[in-house]
């Protein structure tokens, strides 16, 4: 009986530790949402900031984040999918493809601030894009590129080989097979990866610190060469350089709530797509 | 031979883009960083204990920043490893399917929270809490930053360890049960040892995330530049220093290049750590036979 008692206690401890992350998440969301929803209204979402970001809304930051994500999406998604197709479908397992895959893995582990420095040195300074939507979007694009590539490779690898053989069997070429059979079958995995990277790009701060973001600008961006306000940078700025904490911290709660809702929507869509595709899978 | 589609001729170019991007990043960071040592001694950079880049002459001792990075990440791992492993064991072996279906997405959501929101929550909630509970003069310390980082790296550690634990063949467990071992004994002596290579990968990825994390440590770490006296003093790790100072320094100056040199130090640290983790990963894989 001594033995089962010990087991019971240890399993109980494991259970409590496992639920700590739930407690942490619930506390974080509860604490931020409770205060955030108090300041969120139509005006908060559609107005420009006023009086040194102590009043008004955060519309320019929402719009800025949208533009940055859009540029990174346009850059990373086509390139990432095609790179994934090449690695998964057109290469045989050898030293060189291993080298490509290791590079993708290392790239996905590079700290985000290093991407920021790279963007500053190359896009902002060397290519003279300046601190702009273009520089920040490209930096974010390179940051999410490995995720898109990895998701594509994994999705395509999960398509059974017999599907390709059937396609070849009725006379399709390699590219027709990839385009008409493999990609459509693996699309949900690719979509999941893309949606998660959009969430990531929207929430990243370090890569846009010196490449795109500004704490406050009175006007909306007119071209991709303009600097922008962005949700994550706004939160950081309000908490560190803000001079009227009483009025600015509530705005930071509101901005955090919006950012969390945005990122969670992405995650939940990704989870739903994954569950649906698993249920519809017939092989 | 069938004709190839036009796009197939271009596909390899896209395949190499990841390689090119990686090399471009590494080469850019290193060339910009190494320029520092044309006018400043590498030895003083590595061992100096004062980081005062705006003084005349500038002092660029990066040791306190490196020590801060290590302290913060180690605190994070001391908290995150037991929590992450417990979560993995619970989801992988103990919980029923219903609980599993709720817990896994929750851990995933934890991973998707932007780091600036963690930093914000750290400032408004965790730091005051730490200050009150531990009776500290200020709440923004290396320990507080480590605590936040622990929850940021927990999802990585938990999900990859869980994959490793569930990948252990059930026959291993049956053999153990057949010999009269309890569920706990089987877990400790059979399942966890068999999953160790995967758990090492999980921990090293979590550690990598902690070392490279910027916004949370910048906002919660306290930002003190001197050599930290204890884990409960304010500090500013490498990433936070780059983020805090790059915006205010003229392009091309000594300070600008020194911040790239810091990034080199960070990349080397992550690389060394990955090599060590890979060594242990292979050692344990071999031991398992």
3-state secondary structure of A49: strand
The pLDDT > 90 percentage for chain A reads: 70
Binary contact (B32, A145; C-beta < 8 A): no
Chain B neighbors of A248, CB-CB under 8 A: none
What b/e readout covers A247-256, taking b as 16+ CB neighbours within 10 angstroms?
Answer: ebbbbbbbbb
Among partner residues A107, A109, A205, which is closest to B18 by beta-carbon distance?
A107
DSSP A189: H
Q: CB distance B115–A206 less than 8 Å?
A: yes
Give how far B83 is from chain A: nearest CA, Å: 6
Query: Using an 8 Å Cβ cutoff, are B155 and B103 in contact?
Result: no
Cβ–Cβ gap B243/A204 under 8 Å: no
Note whether B87 contacts A18, CB cutoff 8 Å: yes
pLDDT score for B152: 94
Residues of B in contact with A121 (CB under 8 A): 28-29, 32, 260
Same domain, A54 and A153: yes
The answer to whether residues A83 and A188 belong to one domain is yes
The pLDDT of residue A100 is 84
Q: Give the helix, strand, coil percentages of chain A, each rounded to 5.
A: 75, 0, 20
Angstroms from A155 CA to nearest CA on chain B: 16
What gap in Å lies between CA A65 and CA A252, rounded to an integer?
15
B80 has a pLDDT exceeding 90: yes
Judged by CB atoms closer than 8 Å, whether chains meet at B121 and A32 is answered as: yes
**Same domain flag for A33 and A66:** no
Closest CA of chain A from B219, distance in Å:
8
- A22 to chain B, closest Cα gap in Å: 7
Give the minimum alpha-carbon distance from B243 to chain A in angstroms, rounded to a whole number: 7
Residues A139 and A93 reside in one and the same domain: yes
More confident residue, A75 or A242: A75
Cα distances (angstroms) measured from residue B193 to each of A8, B84, B189: 21, 16, 6
Q: Of the candidates B4, B94, B251, which has its C-beta nearest A175's C-beta?
A: B4
Q: Average pLDDT, stretch B255-261?
A: 95
* Counted domains in chain A: 2
pLDDT of residue A1: 59
Q: Which residues of B touch A130 (CB under 8 A)?
A: none
Q: Are residues A58 and A194 in the same domain?
A: yes
Residues A10 and A113 in one domain: no
Helix %, strand %, coil % of chain B (to 5): 75, 0, 20
Shared domain check, A242 and A191: yes
ipTM comes to 0.92
Q: Is the pLDDT of residue B17 over 90?
A: no
Question: How far apart are the C-alpha atoms of A56 and A250, rounded to whole Å?
Answer: 12
pLDDT digits (tens, 9 = 90+) for B92-143: 999 998 998 889 888 888 889 999 999 999 999 999 999 999 999 999 999 9
Please determine, for residue B288, whether its predicted confidence score (pLDDT) is greater than 70: no
Chain B: residue nearest A20 by CA? B83
pLDDT number for residue B199: 94
Same domain, A32 and A170: no
Task: Please check whether residues A214 and A257 belong to one and the same domain.
Answer: yes
CATH of the domain at A271: 1.10.3720.10
Tell me whether residues A196 and B239 touch, CB distance under 8 A. no
Does residue A142 sit in the same domain as residue A21? no
Q: Are residues A56 and A133 in the same domain?
A: yes
CA–CA gap between residue A191 and residue A187 (Å, rounded): 6
Q: Tell whether A57 and A30 lie within a shared domain.
A: no
**Which pLDDT belongs to residue B9?**
86
Please, which residues have CB within 8 angstroms of residue A155's CB and are 6 or more apart in sequence?
Answer: A84, A186, A187, A188, A189, A190, A193
Ordered by where they begin, the domains of chain B are 47-288 (1.10.3720.10)
Q: What pLDDT sits at residue A283?
A: 64
Number of H helices, E strands in chain A: 11, 2
With an 8 Å Cβ cutoff, are A21 and B3 in contact? no
CB contact under 8 Å between B219 and A239, yes or no, is yes
Is the sign of the CA dihedral A15, A21, A24, A28 positive or negative?
Answer: negative
- The pLDDT mean for chain B works out to 91
Expressed as residue numbers, the domain containing A35 is 2-39
A247 vs B123: which has the higher pLDDT? B123
Nearest to B25 by CA among B264, B255, B244: B264
Chain A hits for B246, CB-CB cut-off 8 Å, are: 116-117, 120, 209-210
Confidence of residue B248 (pLDDT cuts 50, 70, 90): confident
- Residue that wins the pLDDT comparison between A51 and B86: B86
Q: How confident is the model at residue B286 (pLDDT cuts 50, 70, 90)?
A: confident
Reported confidence tier of residue B289, pLDDT bands at 50, 70, 90: low
Q: What is the pLDDT of residue B275?
A: 86
Q: What is the pLDDT of residue B122?
A: 96
């Amino acid at each position: 009986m001594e033995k089962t008692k010990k087991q019971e206690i240890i399993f109980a401890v494991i259970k409590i530790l496992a639920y700590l992350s739930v407690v942490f998440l619930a506390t974080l969301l509860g604490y931020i949402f409770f205060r955030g929803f108090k300041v969120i209204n139509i005006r908060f979402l559609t107005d420009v900031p006023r009086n040194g970001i102590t009043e008004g809304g955060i519309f320019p930051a929402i719009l800025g984040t949208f533009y940055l994500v859009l540029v990174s999406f346009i850059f990373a998604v086509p390139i990432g999918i095609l790179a994934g197709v090449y690695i998964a479908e057109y290469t045989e397992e050898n030293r060189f493809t291993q080298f490509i895959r290791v590079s993708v893995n290392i790239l996905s582990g590079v700290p985000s601030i290093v991407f920021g420095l790279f963007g500053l040195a190359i896009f902002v300074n060397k290519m003279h894009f300046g601190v702009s939507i273009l520089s920040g979007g490209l930096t974010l694009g390179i940051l999410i590129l490995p995720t898109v590539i990895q998701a594509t490779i994994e999705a395509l690898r999960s398509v059974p080989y017999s599907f390709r053989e059937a396609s070849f069997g009725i006379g399709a070429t390699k590219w027709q097979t990839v385009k008409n059979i493999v990609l459509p079958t693996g699309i949900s995995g690719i979509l999941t990866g893309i949606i998660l990277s959009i969430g990531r790009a929207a929430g990243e701060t370090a890569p846009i610190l010196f490449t795109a973001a500004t704490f406050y600008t009175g006007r909306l961006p007119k071209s991709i060469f303009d600097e922008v306000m962005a949700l994550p940078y706004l939160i950081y700025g309000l908490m560190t350089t803000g001079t009227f904490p009483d009025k600015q911290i509530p705005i930071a709660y509101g901005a955090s709530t919006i950012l969390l809702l945005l990122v969670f929507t992405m995650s939940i869509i990704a989870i739903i797509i994954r569950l649906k595709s698993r249920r519809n899978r017939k092989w | 031979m069938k004709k190839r589609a036009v796009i197939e001729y271009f596909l390899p170019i896209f395949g190499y883009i990841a390689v090119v991007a990686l090399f471009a990043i590494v080469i850019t960071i290193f060339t910009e960083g190494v320029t520092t040592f044309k006018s400043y001694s590498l030895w003083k950079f590595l061992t100096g204990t004062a980081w005062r880049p705006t003084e005349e002459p500038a002092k660029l001792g990066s040791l306190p920043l490196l020590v801060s990075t290590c302290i913060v990440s180690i605190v994070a791992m001391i908290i995150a490893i037991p929590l992450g492993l417990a979560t993995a064991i619970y989801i992988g072996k103990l919980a029923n399917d219903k609980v599993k279906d709720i817990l896994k997405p929750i851990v995933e959501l934890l991973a998707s929270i932007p780091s600036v929101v963690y930093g914000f929550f750290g400032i408004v909630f965790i730091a005051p809490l730490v200050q009150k509970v531990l009776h500290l003069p200020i709440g923004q310390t290396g320990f507080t930053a480590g605590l936040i980082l622990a929850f940021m790296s927990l999802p990585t550690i938990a999900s990859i360890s869980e994959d490793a634990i569930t990948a252990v063949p059930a026959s291993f467990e049956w053999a153990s049960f057949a010999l009269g071992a309890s569920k706990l004994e089987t877990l400790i002596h059979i399942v966890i040892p068999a999953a160790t290579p995967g758990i090492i990968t999980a921990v090293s990825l979590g550690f990598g995330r902690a070392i490279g994390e910027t916004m949370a440590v910048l906002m919660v770490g306290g930002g003190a530049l001197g050599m930290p006296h204890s884990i409960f003093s304010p500090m500013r790790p490498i990433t936070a220093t780059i983020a805090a100072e790059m915006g205010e320094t003229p392009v091309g100056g000594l300070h600008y290049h020194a911040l790239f040199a810091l990034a080199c130090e960070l990349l080397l640290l992550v690389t060394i750590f990955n090599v060590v983790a890979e060594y242990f990963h292979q050692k344990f894989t071999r031991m398992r036979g």
